[in-house]
Amino acid sequence: MSLRNIKIEMLAWFEDRLGLSGITKFLREKKVPQHRHSIWYYTGSAILLFFCIQVITGFMLVFYYKPTLEEANASVGRIMTEVPLGWIIRSVHSWAASFMIALVFVHLISIWLTKSYRKPREMTWMSGIFLMAVSLAFGFTGYLLPWDDLSLSATKVGTDIPRSIPVVGVWVTKLLRGGEDVTGDTLTRFFGIHVCILPVFIFILLAFHVYFIQKQGISLPLRAEVNKEEVKSLPFWPNFIYREVVVWLVLVGIIFSVAIFLPPSLEKEADLMAPAPEGVKPEWYFLFLFQTLKIFPPKILFIHGDTIAVFLMILAGILFFFLPLIDNKPVATKGKVITLMAYVFILYAVVMTVWSLW
Amino acid sequence: MKLKHSLFTRRQFLNGLLGGWLGALLVSFLYPVAKFIFPPYREPEEVILPLSNFKDMKPNSVRNFSWGTKPGIIKKTDDGTLQAFIAVCTHLDCNVTYLPEQRKFFCACHDGWYDENGINISGPPPKPLRQLLVVIEKENLILRKEGVK
């Protein structure tokens, strides 16, 4: 029996048991439209690339990291100084998190501006908002794990914010902290959330998100959506994948360069009883929310300023989630107000972020 | 099948019964889960410290202590009495510090300020710092929650 026959027989054996020919046929026939907005199609797979980097470097870090009050900071120190190439792994994990979140924002804004969330893609948008929330939760829980001064205070603030919501807020804070205050229990709990709970959620959400995209086909620009034949297209396999591979290689080059030349620092171990250090800041992607909280006065009329700020944020989140149902116009309409809102949102986030760094 | 004076059919009744039973079963599983994930917390009723540790304090100076899992600050006023504060900002829970030269408590997280008696004077804090009752009994300095005798 020749090698070729063995291969054919093996494939047939698997085909009989798994019946995957439908999927390979789908991938062979899948086409990706080419137009002047095609560049945004690459943001999704770039996020996926960084997510894979996070999974791999995360697996590696977990071999040495110790999620307890006594050992967390020292174990990160050990990763940075003693573990062979540990500093690069931690640096890549830290930087890839930022890159991933940044790309999530770009991905989201591109879909907002091109109105790709409209019928029938509403649920793709909604699963995407959940994915963003889970990504931010990854960032928030991961920030505490090095257990240094800044991360402790940022976590104290972050977990205290729900408290301004009446009735349920106190319980959310307790749930996050594993008690009344941020303690070693919070660290262990955040580690559990970071490495067990969130990964399960992100994989389930990702499966739905990708399924929806395949089910409905990739979206087209508004004008092209009406008369589909006009748009040129590229076979997904192998032409489009090759192009994506080029993008991935460039991004891998960038992430390793940044990670090697600008590794994250490790501040001194967090002391639960020490006063908050100056310059407490969350990760950059929370800065605009942080600044929003900061500028609210203690009281507006008779209500706490924070309560109002948090309510506004929750309201914005809800409106955001239901955007496809609010803007349920026919696919081809322009939606100038929605576009304007996207720019206002970008402007607000940028101004607030810059202000908080001032 | 529905009897003449009945509000719902036998099937609806049985479905409701079964659904209600399943719901109750689910709640009976979720209750211990909820109990498990919220650990018990008891704020200390009082903290007893040796008075000798605080005898040599100068006016307008502070010492730290632990109030359960929260940091506390003991401050000597100009007239020699001791004041005890829970050194946690009433805004968003950051630990505050006392700046003797300015005679103010300061929270670095969101630029919150309190005067020397812990009254919120500037920035986002909505309330004064929590103050504890200071009692001196023989060689002990006892700090109690306000209202506990």
Higher pLDDT, A1 or B56: B56
B-chain residues within 8 Å CB-CB of A185? 39
Nearest chain B residue to A296 by CA: give it: B124
Report percent pLDDT > 70 for chain B.
97
Min CA distance, A105 vs chain B (Å)? 26
**What does the alpha-carbon distance between residue B87 and residue B94 come to, in Å, rounded to a whole number?**
8
Confirm or reject contact between B97 and chain A (CB < 8 A).
Answer: yes
A78 within some domain: yes
Residue A288, domain member (yes or no): no
**CB-CB under 8 Å, B93 with A296:** no
Please give the pLDDT value at position A347.
96
Question: Where do the H-state alpha helices sit in chain A?
Answer: 3-18, 21-29, 41-62, 72-81, 86-114, 122-144, 149-160, 168-177, 184-192, 198-216, 222-226, 241-261, 287-295, 305-321, 323-326, 336-357
Q: Which residues of A touch B (CB under 8 A)?
A: 153, 156-157, 159-161, 163, 171, 174-175, 178-183, 185, 272-280, 293-294, 296-299, 304-306
Whether omega before A264 lies within 30 degrees of 0, making that bond cis, reads: no
**Which residue stretches of chain B are H helix?**
10-37
pTM (predicted TM-score) = 0.89
Residue A357: predicted pLDDT = 87
> In a 3-state reduction of DSSP, which class is residue A132?
helix
Mutate to test the interface with B, among A273, A287, A292 (most CBs of B within 10 A): A273
The pLDDT assigned to A226 comes to 66
* DSSP letter, residue A131: H
The DSSP bridge pattern shows strands A299-300 and A303-304 to be: antiparallel
Task: Grade residue B129 by pLDDT with cuts at 50, 70 and 90.
Answer: very high
Q: Which residues of B touch A298 (CB under 8 A)?
A: 91, 120, 123-126
User: Which of A177, A185, A156, A179 lies closest to A275 in space, CA to CA?
Assistant: A156
CA separation for the pair A128, A117 (Å, rounded): 10
What architecture is domain B46-144?
Answer: 3-layer Sandwich (2.102)
Q: What is the pLDDT of residue A352?
A: 94
CB A330 within 8 A of CB A225: no
**Number of independent structural domains in chain A:** 1
In this prediction, residue B146 carries a pLDDT of 76
Q: Chain A within 8 Å of B66 (Cβ-Cβ)?
A: yes
In a domain, A15, yes or no: no
Taken in order B115, B116, B117, B118, the sign of the CA dihedral is: positive
Closest residue in chain A to residue B120, using alpha carbons only: A298
Q: Is the pLDDT of residue B103 over 80?
A: yes
Whether B126 sits inside 8 A of A161 (CB atoms) is no
* Record: contact A179-B107, CB cut-off 8 A: no
Domain enclosing residue A160, as ranges: 34-280
pLDDT one-digit tens code per residue, A99-115: 999 999 999 999 999 88
What is the ipTM, given to two decimal places? 0.78
Each domain of chain B, given as residue ranges in start order, spans: 1-40, 46-144
For A210, phi then psi, to 5°, come to -70, -40
Give the CATH number of the domain where residue A175 resides.
1.20.810.10
Separation of CA A61 from chain center: 19
Phi, psi of A276 (to 5 degrees): -60, 135
Predicted local confidence at residue B74, as pLDDT: 92
Residue B149 has pLDDT above 80, yes or no: no
Chain B residue with Cα closest to A295: B124
Residue stretches of chain A with pLDDT short of 50: none
How far away is chain A from the Cα of B120, in angstroms, using its nearest Cα? 10
